[in-house]
Each structure stands twice: as C-alpha cells, then as structure tokens.
C-alpha cells in the first residue's frame, strides 16, 4: 500500500506585473525559442509551453506534483515579441506542499465508485480557493476528479485518492447588459453558475452599463433585453451549443431552451448586440449562419463582438475551466480600461494560456477594433 500525505490548506499567490499595455493581433502556436526565458529560468525550457499571443511571446507551465495537477498553481512569462523584453510575470504557487505525493486509489477504482458512465478523470490537488471544486473543508489528500455522464447530463464527482471517500460533487462546465445563468441539473432542476454570471454583472455595472442578473430567466425576460436598445452587453452561462442553450426550467425536471432561431426572430427589428458572451460549452465552436454568434451580430463584423467557449466540457479544456472565472475577470477588466475587446481577449489568454494554443477553449468573432461604446 502506498503512503498517504496530508496537506494544510494554505496558498501563496504572487502576481508581478512589469509593464502595462499590450497591443494584440493574431494568435498562433509559437515555435520553440527559449532565449528570452533562459535569463529567468535557466535550463527550464522543457518545463514550459510556448505560445505566440498577439504581440507577445508567452511561456507557461502548470504545476504538477507526482502526476497530480496542482489546481491554480502556474507560472506565466510574457515577453515582447520584437524586443524579447519581459513584459509581465504571473506566478501562483503554494508553498505548503511536499516534494511528492502518494496515492492508494487507482484511476480505475475511482471511476468504479461514481454514478453514471465515466468520461474522463484527472488527479488533482485541490486549491483552498477552488471555484469548481468548492469543498469545505478543502481535501488534504490528492483527489480523483471524475467527469461522468448521467442520463445525458454531465456531473463531476470527487474521490479521495488515498482513502476512497466520496467527497462530493464539483461544478461541471456548461455543455453543449444582461447576465443570465441557466440550471446546472435537471430531475429536478437545480443549481446555477453564480460566481460566473455575478462576475459579469459586477463588471458591466463597473463599466456604467447597469446590469440585471437573473437566474433561470423565462423567455420573456430574455426577450425584454434583446428588444431593449439600452441593453448592449449580454452574458449567458448555460448548458448548450452554438445553436441553443438551456436558459431555465418549464417544470421541475424539464429544461426550457432558447435557440438561435429565437434570437433571430426576437432581434430582427433591433440593432445587433454590441457584445455577447456565449458561455455554453460549445457556444462559440460554430460562428456561421444560424448560430448564436452570427445572430447576436446579425452577420456583421462592425461595432459588434461575440466571445465564448468551445469544448469546455472536454478533457483538453478541463484545466482552462478551473481558471475560467479569472479569465473573464481579466477580459472584463481590460474592456473596462478601454482596450478593444480583441486586445482584452488576447491579454486574458496571455494571462491564462492553458485556455489558448491547441486547447483553443476561448473563441472570438466580430470587430477586432471595437472598444465600445456598448449602447445600441
């Protein structure tokens, strides 16, 4: 039997910003060139992933410990692409963890302990400040986080990797100014993504666009904002895809859907939405005719923008999901400061590059030069 290790729930977080504003353009995978990084991390190039995001070279690493993802621990270096000078360093690193971990429960054993059909599993050391694994108290042992399918709905179950205890459920990502959140579960309908949609409300208010934030809105509430010319910022986080999302519940166990066709009909006599965040798991995978992205913009790429998720319920985006609230806070903060939405988008990716590169969990469409105003 392998020995168990216990961890105190302390966290050390350091954010160092060495420069301010960046202009951002296209985003591509960066071919290896460790020269800028070697000054700060000698002989560590192999530990970092490399990306080109806008005008910046970004090197980042997710902290791993004995095969476990240390949630919310990462380091990001941002360098100017031309001068190779350091622009910013962001480091979040717990100082209370041992050099290695030990587990008893295997992945296969953990997957046999959950309900439904396992989709994928990851070994985590859960952060005391976790948004997506909000357990109280924070587990001291490493945990298996198992994403499962239960009657077509995704759930996240957490199993202690040392003693096999079922610790509870995590917050699954939504799959397939107005801020709304739909229900997380049905049979019965329950739950919502409070931290996410309330973040949008906070930032929209800060930008001087008073925001109504609603949990499980009825369709007439959504209609009232689509057809209100003073509502120029729209945010949704709900189960769905590029063509429909579950905005509410018509009964205790039946979702109410809002579709892109509904959007086209409701917005037909009104201007395009200036900014829409489409936070369904597959919400921005498609952007063409008949999609939410296209209907919010009414097919235009002038003075209108959509931003959102693609593949957020898939394994390759599971790390990005744990940072998704932080990512949108950075996005909205830079929009608040007057950057174009595309610049804010790229800056958020530069801060949280686990959402960029081949993962490509965040998507953008529309006017790359648009920075408001957001009134219609």
Does any domain span residue 201?
yes
pLDDT on residue 6: 33
Q: How far apart are CA 260 and CA 148, in angstroms?
A: 28
Terminal-residue alpha carbon distance, the chain:
64
Q: How far apart are CA 130 and CA 222, in angstroms?
A: 31
Q: What is the dihedral of CA 314, 137, 195, 158, to 10 degrees?
A: 20
Where a domain ends, among 92, 126, 151? 92
Residues 208 and 120 placed together within one structural domain of the fold: no
State how far Cα 235 lies from the chain centre.
13
Residues 25 and 56 placed together within one structural domain of the fold: yes
Residues 263 and 215 placed together within one structural domain of the fold: yes
Residues 220 and 341 placed together within one structural domain of the fold: yes
What contacts 334, CB < 8 A, 6 or more positions away? 343, 344, 347, 348
Residues 124 and 36 placed together within one structural domain of the fold: no
Does any domain span residue 17?
yes
Does any domain span residue 5?
no
Residues 163 and 266 placed together within one structural domain of the fold: no
Residues 231 and 322 placed together within one structural domain of the fold: yes
Residues 214 and 320 placed together within one structural domain of the fold: yes
Residue 329's SS3 state is: helix
pLDDT on residue 229: 83
pLDDT on residue 341: 97
Does any domain span residue 275?
yes
Residues 30 and 60 placed together within one structural domain of the fold: yes
- Whether the bond into 191 is cis, omega within 30 of 0: no
336 with 344: CB under 8 angstroms? Answer: no
Which residues of the chain fall below pLDDT 50?
1-32, 176
Q: How many domains does the chain have?
A: 3
Cα distances from 317 to residues 48, 86, 323, 358, in angstroms, run: 18, 28, 10, 10
Does any domain span residue 8?
no
327 with 355: CB under 8 angstroms? Answer: yes
Does any domain span residue 372?
no
276 with 245: CB under 8 angstroms? Answer: no
Mean pLDDT of the chain: 85
Residues 119 and 149 placed together within one structural domain of the fold: yes
159 with 143: CB under 8 angstroms? Answer: yes
CATH number at residue 346: 3.40.50.1460
111-159 residue pLDDT tens:
999 999 999 999 999 999 998 999 999 999 999 999 998 877 788 999 9
pLDDT on residue 33: 62
Where a domain ends, among 169, 199, 221? 169
Alpha helices in the chain (DSSP H): 35-38, 107-111, 194-206, 219-226, 260-267, 292-297, 318-322, 324-336, 341-351
Q: Residue 359's domain spans which residues?
A: 178-366
310 with 359: CB under 8 angstroms? Answer: no
283 with 241: CB under 8 angstroms? Answer: yes
283-305 residue pLDDT tens:
999 999 999 999 999 999 999 99
Residues 82 and 41 placed together within one structural domain of the fold: yes
Does any domain span residue 99?
no
Is residue 343 exposed (0-12), middle (13-18) or buried (19+ Cβ within 10 Å)? buried
Does any domain span residue 375?
no
pTM for this entry: 0.75
Where a domain ends, among 62, 92, 122? 92
Residues 164 and 287 placed together within one structural domain of the fold: no
């Amino acid at each position: 039997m392998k020995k168990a290790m216990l961890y105190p729930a302390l966290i050390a977080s350091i954010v160092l910003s060495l420069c301010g504003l960046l202009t951002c353009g296209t985003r591509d995978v960066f071919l290896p060139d460790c020269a800028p990084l070697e000054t700060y991390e000698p002989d560590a190039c192999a530990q970092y992933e490399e990306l080109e995001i806008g005008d910046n070279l970004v090197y980042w690493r997710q902290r791993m410990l004995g095969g476990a993802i240390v949630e919310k621990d990462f380091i990001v270096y941002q360098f100017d692409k031309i001068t190779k000078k350091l622009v910013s360093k962001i480091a979040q690193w717990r100082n209370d963890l041992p050099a290695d971990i030990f587990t008893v429960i295997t992945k296969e054993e953990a997957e046999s302990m959950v309900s439904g059909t396992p989709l994928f599993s990851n070994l985590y050391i859960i952060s005391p400040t976790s948004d997506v694994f909000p357990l109280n108290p924070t587990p001291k042992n490493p945990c298996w986080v198992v994403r499962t399918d239960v009657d077509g709905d995704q759930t996240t179950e957490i199993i202690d990797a040392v003693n096999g205890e079922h610790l509870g459920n995590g917050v699954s990502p939504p799959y397939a100014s107005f801020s709304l959140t739909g229900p997380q579960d049905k049979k019965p309908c329950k739950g919502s993504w409070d931290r996410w949609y309330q973040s949008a409300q906070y930032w929209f208010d800060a930008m001087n666009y008073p925001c109504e934030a609603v949990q499980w809105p009825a369709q007439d509430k959504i209609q009232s904002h689509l057809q209100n010319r003073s509502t120029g910022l729209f945010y949704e986080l709900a189960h769905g895809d590029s063509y429909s999302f579950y905005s509410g519940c018509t009964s205790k166990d039946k979702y109410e859907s809002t579709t892109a066709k509904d959007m086209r009909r409701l917005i037909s006599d009104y201007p395009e939405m200036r900014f829409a965040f489409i936070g369904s798991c597959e919400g921005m995978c498609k952007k063409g005719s008949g999609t939410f992205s296209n209907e919010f913009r009414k097919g235009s790429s002038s003075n209108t923008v959509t931003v959102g998720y693609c593949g957020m319920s898939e394994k390759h985006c599971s790390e990005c999901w744990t940072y998704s609230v932080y990512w949108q806070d950075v996005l909205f903060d830079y929009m608040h400061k007057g950057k174009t939405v595309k610049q804010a988008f790229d800056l958020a990716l530069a801060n949280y590059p686990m959402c960029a590169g081949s993962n490509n969990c965040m998507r953008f469409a529309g006017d790359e030069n648009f920075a408001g105003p957001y009134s219609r």
